[in-house]
Amino acid sequence: MKTAALTVVGLLGALCLCLRTEANTAWDLLRQSAVNWTGNLPCGGWDCDCEFRKPKGCCCVARPLFELEEATFMRMVGLWEGLTDLNEQIDEVTGGRNVAFAAFLSSTPGCFGPFTRNVSIPYQNITLNQGYGYNAALGAFTAPRAGLYSFSYTVYSNVGPAGERLYLKVQLMKDGQVIASSWEDNREDSEDSATQMVLLQLKQGNQVYVELVSGRFLCTDTQGYNSFSGFLVYPLTDVPV
């Protein structure tokens, strides 16, 4: 009888039965058997004396559970720190890569130009400006960070009836330096367009814009064909002068 009772007691101790309600008759019998037992209770390493021979509220697995909880918490802290470090490394490599813009010249039934000096083209119709590098008031893009950038522009003009002079020239500029240009000067083709695309290494603060050369003009662009766009291909830590 004692052997059977001890077996049940051992199983109950291993499963951590920490009762908080009034004990029933069966439980009283098992506890009384454990109390009357001489020697160590065969509980497989659990502190069954705490539950069976001491006042209620003392859980036989309180300490192991606390140690397990503490170990689990510290492991979670370690994982969190590892994830934080990894995020910082990712941000260092890829942070700020969301730099892109696209803008178009507003509908122009007449002509833009001619002017007596070179004028930055004000692409006012902005459809994309991630990183807020493009300024419509200036018609210029200012690099928010150093990196390799891709820029493209399309120039379009329609002077109307055959025989009218198609006379345009625009330039892609970097801090006042001509990078690329497109031009047309004839009376045989009254409507034409051209597109340029370039890759530029920029330092933070470098400005890129498209300007109309003095004396030239862009006419009858009612569909937003004149456009200027760019994006950051990848960041750089060192850009040569």
Residue ranges covered by each domain of the chain = 2-60, 100-235
What is the C-alpha to C-alpha distance for residues 126 and 131, in angstroms, rounded to an integer? 13
Residues 221-241: pLDDT tens digits?
Answer: 888 899 999 999 999 887 666
Mean pLDDT of 167-182: 94
Question: pLDDT band for position 187 (50/70/90)?
Answer: confident
Burial of residue 55 (CB within 10 Å: 0-12, 13-18, 19+) is exposed
Burial of residue 99 (CB within 10 Å: 0-12, 13-18, 19+) is buried
CB within 8 A of 98, min separation 6: which ones?
130, 131, 232
Residues 64-120: pLDDT tens digits?
Answer: 667 777 888 888 888 888 888 777 666 655 555 689 999 999 887 888 889 999 999
Looking at domain 100-235, its CATH architecture is Sandwich (2.60)
Mean pLDDT of 131-145: 94
Q: Are 13 and 51 within 8 A, CB to CB?
A: yes
Which residue stretches of the chain are H helix? 2-14, 25-36, 48-52, 62-94
Per-residue confidence (pLDDT) for residue 20, from 0 to 100: 43
Mean pLDDT of 206-212: 96
